[in-house]
Structure formats: C-alpha cells, structure tokens
Structure 1
Amino acid sequence: MDRSWMIKPRITEEYDNGVEAFLKFAKEKAPDITGVYFCPCVKCLNGRQQSLDDIRTHLICDGNCPSYTKWIWHSELPQMSSTPSTGPVNEQVDDHIEDMLHDLGQEGFRQAHAPYYEKLNNDSKKPLYIGCTKCTRLSRVLALVNLKARFGWSDKSFNELLLLLKSMLPEDNTHAFADLRNCPTCGVSRYKVNSDECTADATTYKDRPSKVCWYLPVIPRFKQLLANVEDAKNLTWHADGRIKDGLLRHPADSPQWKTIDQLYPEFAQDARNLRVALASDGMNPFGNLSSNHSLWPILLIIYNLPPWLCIKRKYIMMSMMIAGSRQPRNDIDVYLEPLIEDLRKLWWVEGVDVYDGNANETFRLHAMIFCTINDFPAYGNLSGYSVKGHHTCPICEKDTSYIQLKHGKKTVYTRHRRFLKPFHPYRHMKKAFNGTSESDSALIPLSGHEVLD
C-alpha cells in the first residue's frame, strides 16, 4: 500500500484519502471487538488506543509519525503479501523479528517507550524457557498474536489458550506480563502515580499498587475449626440437635437445603460438610462520605452451626478484603478468583482431608456456597445481572412494572401487591395505593438458567 501520503501536507486531499485508507486497513487487519486501535499520531506514537473517529481527528489535527511506514502495530508484518500465506506462521514471524525490532528503533518510539523497547529487545534474545534453543519469548508471543489476528479469535478464547500453554510448558517459563508496570491493553499503571496520567514514565509512590486485595485462605481455617472438639460437635447440630417439627427454625428447614440434599446425596450424606453463605458489601472505613477510598470485605457464614452461633463474630470468617479508590464493580470476579478456587477444591468432586476432633478421625471435607447475602447493587456486581433500567427485577424480568418519574427521571417499581396472598385486604385498597385494586397473581420466579439466558 502506498505510504507517500504520510509526508504530504495535512490540508491536501491526498493526505485525507491516505488517512481513510489507513483506517480501513486497521479495521480489516487488526479487528478489535472493543473498537479501539493504536493511534500513530505524533502525540500518541502507538502508545495509546483510540476509536477510529479519534484516530482520524488526531491524524488530521496533529499529524502522523512519518517514520511509521510499516504498520506493525496494526497487524502488518514486513513484506507482508496481500494473499494469505500457506506456510507455517512460526517461520513467517521468526524471519522478520530483527526487521520489526529495527522498525521499533525509530527515535520517536524509543524516546516515548524506552522501557518497553528495551523489554522487547531483551525478549527477542531470551529463550522461551531454560534449555529452549528453537525459539525466543518474543517470537512465540508474536506468533500467537498473529494467529489471533488472522483467525479472529476472541480475547476470552485467546486468554484460555495462554493459560493452557502455560500449564504445558516447564515450570521455569515466565509470564509475559509479570514484570510490566502498565497494562498492555489499556496502558493504565499498575501502581499509584503522582499525576492523573498513567503513563510509563510517571513517577510512582514507591511502587504502591493502585488496587490491593488481601486473601485469607479458608481451607486452613476450616481445618482448625474442625480440629476443636466443641466446634466440630456444633458443626453437626443441624442434623443432631435441631428440632424437626416442620417449622422454619434453621436454614436446614428451608426448601433450598432439602433440594440440595436431593440433588447431591453424596454431599448430604455427611453432616460435617459445610454450607456457607457469602456476604459482601462496600464500606467507607473513615466514615467520611467525601473520601474516595472504599473497602469491600468478603465474609463467609457457616450455616451448619446453631442459629445463636452463626452470627457470632468468632464464626464469621473474613476471607477477603478488596481495597481501592473505587468499588470493584463487575470486575469483582477477578478478585474473588482465589476464594473460588479454594471453594471449588472443597466441592464434593475433590474435597480436603480434615481431622475431626470430636470423632477422633480423619475424613474428606466438602463445602459449598449455600447462598449470598448482599443488597441489590452488590447483587449486580456478584452475579453480573443488570440491576438498573426498566427490567431490573430478576423474578419479573420483562413483566417488571415501572413508572418513569417526569421531573426526577428516576424509575419507580410498582405493583408489589401481586405477591400477596389472593385474599389479602391490601389487594382491594385503592386510596392507599395507586387508585386501583390488584387482581393479578404473583409471577413464577425464573430459574437460574432462565435468568442467565
């Protein structure tokens, strides 16, 4: 493709046509589901990602980097043919590693991204793992990225592939992003910075992480709990000491507990297997509404215990604390990963060997999340369900009854009387409500699979 337009005056028609040709090339060759691409203007120098409209504005108003003649940041390899190559991708990439590093050595790029350039240069000489003589770390990463771009892999599938390859490689192989100070996708610093700009050369506050998560492993604490004679005895109270008269005195009397017993009889066979509730909510530790610091504790409540012990501070386990300037929002699943991994290990398929101090024996302990405790906004973060808008009720869904306030623009949800008993007196009270009676019956709650769909 002709690159002569890059040195033309920006007011010429030839330059405008060249910009449009570049944008078309980037959209076709480097597809991105997020809709952002590296901007080659003289200010961004392929260090920031922008939308196509923003890139067009930058190129016309600020100009492009004239030395960026091989568009390697937009999926173009040196001497790339217009027809797909039938040869192995690895050979195609390996043959041009030196050329690509030479292109990266342009003065504008080196000045703006000196640490990044040095890392690329080092990775081009470092073997993928100790003893590997066939390939370098950089060549394999470029080969994988080339495959992703050629066949349109999603980011999720590509991440799963990287995790699989990491587990197949020897233990001494290194993670490509382990030493990066900035996110390779959005460029945000991993550490707190002095300025609002999270650039690679920003001064950090002694490498203090911008987001911190403390995890207190739950498996050792479960082991210590069962090793105590009294605690181990109390953990079977729901099966041995509970009054079973049909009344709801304990979570074990609930339909949910009984349904789990029917679905997983092997889990229900041993009363010592734990059923825990996961509770979470955000809090301000300083009691100041203007503070920009928030904490999200993740608590586990053991429902095997008697009701008067479940809510005691001694038996409520703080498993995790997420601290930062903002709440984790939908990214909370990233922070919950170590806890979820331990709970998956404790599920009935695998379990953990634990000593029972009351029975003086070792048994295989299993555990499950029985329920979650949270308010509606936290429910949205934990489940990924949308809790804003007109159809926010997970039970009513499309049949959610709402009113949009004319002046406040807020959404008000109505017709809660549908969930009362058929002959409840509130159903016929008109003046106390919206001037009408309620005759419709309660909606049938959707199952978990239906909500997910």
Structure 2
Amino acid sequence: MDRSWMYGRRDTKDFMHGVSEFCMSALQHQASTGVKEFYCPCADCENVNTVNNVLVIRDHVFMRGFRPNYHVWVYHGESGVYVGNSSKNVVHEQEEAFYAEGEADCFEDEDDDDVESNIDDGNDRVEDMLHEVEDEVRDHVFECLSKAAETPLYPGCTKYRKLSAVCTLYNIKTSGGWTDISFTELLVALSDMLPTGNELPRSNYYAKKLMCPFGLEYKKIHTCPNDCLLYHKQYENLGKCPRCGVSRYKLKGVSEGKNVYPAKVLWYLPIIPRFKRLFSIKKDARNLRWHADPDRRKRDGLLRHPADSPQWKTIDKLHDTFGKEPRNLKLGLCTDEMNPFGTLSSQHSTWPVLLVIYNLPPWLCMKRKYIMLSLLITGPKQPGNDIDVYLEPLVDDLRKMWDEGVSVFDAHANETFRLRAMLFCTINDFPAYGNLSATRTKE
C-alpha cells in the first residue's frame, strides 16, 4: 500500500484521502480491540499522547503532519515492514533474501551513536532488547537485527549468536572503560581465533552499527551564547537571538550552512522512551514497584528508603490518585559542573543533569544503569542562574508526565497503564543549589 503521500504537501487530494484512510484504519483497530483512546501520530504527539476522538487526530495531522518514518501504522493495528514507498503487512520468503543481502547497507545511514548497555548478571537479554525496539524500528533495520539474533557466532556454535556475542563484548568494553582502538584490536584477535566463517565484526565501527538501534535517542539543541533561550520550537530556524541580538554561531558574519558551528549546545536525551523501555523488561518492571511491595520492603519505622520519609507519605496523601498507582515514578534530579578535560582546559564547562528513580530498591537506584542522563549542557562558560533556560526540554517532559501521563506496557503485569511521574527532590551542593533555585548561597 503506497504511503508516499504521508510526507508530501498537506493541501493535496492524495493527502486528504490518505488521512481519511488512516482514520478508518484507526476506527477498525478500535472496534477490534475495544480500546477507548487513539494514539495520535502527529509530529508533536508522536504516538505518545492519546485522544478520545479520531477527528482530533485528523485535525492534528493536517496542522502538524505525521511523525517521521511512520509508514507502517503499528500503533493503529498494522504489522509488517516498509519497502520502497509501500507498506507490506506480510513479509514473504523471497523478501528475506533481499534483507539478508542488504544487511550491511541498512546500517550505513545510521548515526554513529554511543550505546547504553542493558546487560548485567551474565545475561545478554537480547530478546528483551529486541522487544523494546520492535515497535520503534519495524522495518528493514529490525529484520536485520532479528537475523543477527538468530545467526550462530560460528558454524556449530550453540551458546552465542552474532548479536548476543557483540552485546556481551560491548558490555565488557563499557564497564571496563576500553578505548575504541583497543576494542577493535580485541575484535580482530578474537575473529582470528574463532573458527573460519565466524560472524564476529572486526572493528568497533561495525559492532556499534549493529548495536545502534539499542542506543539512546538524543536531540542536539543550539543555545544563545548569552543563555537567553534555546533555538527550538518557535525559535528553531532563527540565526540570531531575538532578545540580545547575538548570532547563534561562533563565526559572526558567515552565512548559515557554510561550516559554521553553534557557540553553545544542549544535548537532550528524552526520558519518556527510556521509562517505557524499563517497563518493557519484566525484571525492571517488578523492581519499579518494590517500594510498595510489603513482602519485599521491610517496614519497621526506621528510615531505610525515601518511601519511609514523611515527604513521600505526604505527597501520596495530597495527591491520592497519583499515590494509589505504585508504578508512578518519584524522581530525584542532580546536577553539578564538571570539566571533562581535567586541567588541560579551563575554558570549557559541562553540566550533566541526572535523574534517579526512587521507586527502585536502595541497592539499585544509585547504580549507573538506572541513573538517567537527561541533559548535557556544554559551552565555554557555566550557565549560572540561567540554567532554567537549559532545563526547559526536561521540564516539558516532566510536566507532561505529571499532567497527562503516558501509555506504557508493563511486562511484569502484562498490561498497559497510564504512567505518571513527579520530581520528588533535588540533590546538589550549595553552589549548584544556588543556580537551580536562583538563591544566594554565599556572601
């Protein structure tokens, strides 16, 4: 079924007929499943927000267009892959040869991102990770990942598959702090040691390309050099700050698009997809309700966990709807300045903004795996009291999760529920506390 109309002009007959077809598909999915709400696929809602009426979806799509790469309507009842400019609901055997031949090519256009390892306790958990990305990558990439998850590491190998071997080695690389060069040397040596015909990548580049769908989504946002605003939303296409008039680029007077670079950059890692990913793993979904499990948490009147604190109990009492759902998240935010270059550069400032999930047991909530990096503020100087400008994307997501919540699948309970979250506390030293709260902490 041709879907090329989805990303063309929105004032054509093809687009109007296509939107009507989409609305009919959504209504048929509702009738067959009995769901009461529809996921909205517009560029702003991105199949995260839900609406009660299909006419709202129609209006959103006409105003904002469809979210990128939503050719197969998996949130509205379809399944299959997208080949060329057509959606195919059934993958035929002859197409599998096409996917196998194009396995190397399908990763060529992917970003060379760092990956976050989800492997611990000697378990590669490839099936869990494939389940996490299945809805996000139901296309050629997912077919290649599935093939890599089924291909033996070498002929006759029963313990490791190509994907599980790369996951295991990459986890060792990450936990050991290995450089890319040393990891490439290890891959070359292991490939030579293994039997002929083994499937192990021979460089860090190709190992990372294989793992890229499991990586963290991030957004790069330019910022005003004087910390006035972020160049996103209504300011995204501006070349200079509307408040102070300073160019957003380092090289003043150089036209945009000619190898110019932003003076300051904010890296934002959206938190909602990662919360969904946590709940899609049974073990993590069970641990995220640990604080409310009387069989697992000891309650003897002592302060053993934030859930024992008066603040936690007061919040649950004041907001009883929020408190009655034990899966709703209470988060801690911490930030401070660091210099990643040590004493080599005193002209650079980096502020990581981290989130801690206090629903978890105390022996897990402070582990690196569960501490989420949400923002990375980089530039020649610290943001100071203007740090609130940089927190805007994170605050928007937190407000959304408090006001509306998001629909999330709980793998432990095998059900979908409305997940909400709140900022429970902040953790800072006094200088950072002064910046976050715009309060004087020293004379």
Query: Shorter-normalised TM-score: what interval?
Result: 0.3 to 0.5
Q: What is the TM-score with the length of structure 1 in the denominator?
A: 0.45
Higher relative contact order (CA 8 A, sep 6+): 2
Greater C-alpha radius of gyration:
1
